[in-house]
Amino acid sequence: MKFISWNVNGLRACLGKGFTESMKVLDPDFICLQEIKMEKGQAEHGLDGYSEVWNSAVKRGYSGTAVFARTEPLSRAMGMGVPDHDNEGRLITLEYPEFYLVCAYTPNSQRELARLDYRMRWEDDFRAYLKGLDAVKPVILCGDLNVAHQEIDIKNPRSNRRNAGFTDEERDKMTVLLASGFTDAFRSLHPETRDAYTWWSYMAKARERNIGWRIDYFLVSNRLMPNVKSASIYPDIWGSDHCPVGLELEP
């Protein structure tokens, strides 16, 4: 099974920049999108053979997630059942016989860390939600988690130390989540790989210079790691300020 996750930073815009063609080349079984900034039916995506699950934000043109799956899920859920978190379309959970697939778009702590306190509440509630799922069956979590966990995951760790996405608080929450029974698939398979990023600022030709951050992930329940065949980053696929990331699972 092949999974792709991509923060498209506006799906309608990304559709005009080769989204459909890229997905057809990658040919995944599951496509998990974040920051779609639209509702179902507002644009033709050109993907055939997939069922669609959309969770759009209450605020139009903001945030939102979507999952395209070749296999119908046993069940689907939007949000985590916490009203404080569930109006921005940030979470989709699909249940399959062998696992839960969770597509997440973690809130950004914003400039001057204006939303850091809220982000900390999200992290605690989200971790509890994931642990509840994991107690039933293994979990595959993917998405823009808005944190570069380790210094290896960011080009300039020293100068970004207190910037949103690289605060001690956010990084510590990722450490706690992983210690709760989850594995960062890419870093597990590529522990020493540097300059592997998934997001670049639009400023100062950061992407061309590969001045980036790795903030898009596949985390899997520890007991699923023996089934992980590969975990990939696709920096050559443009269309957003993020690039897609991938996971392949053996049966």
100, 105, 129, 217: the active-site residue:
105
Q: Is 5 helix (H, G, I), strand (E, B) or coil?
A: strand
Task: Please give the single-letter amino acid code of residue 144.
Answer: D
Mapped onto helix, strand or coil, the DSSP state of residue 248 is strand
Enter the tokens of residue 22: 């890229």
144 assigned to active site:
yes
3-state SS, residue 130: helix
Q: In what order do the strands lie in the sheet with 51-55?
A: 51-55, 65-69, 30-34, 2-7, 245-249, 228-233
Annotated catalytic residue, options 134, 144, 153, 216: 144
Q: How far apart are the first and last CA of the chain?
A: 8
- Whether 117 is a known active-site residue: answer no
* Cα–Cα dist 207/205, whole Å: 6
**Residue 78 amino acid letter:** M
Which tokens go with 90?
């940030």
Residue at 37: amino acid letter: K
Residue 13 near residue 43, CB atoms below 8 Å: no
Sequential DSSP letters for 61-73: TS--EEEEESS--
Beta strand 182-184 with 245-249: parallel, antiparallel or unpaired?
Answer: unpaired
Among all residues, which ones are annotated catalytic? 105, 144
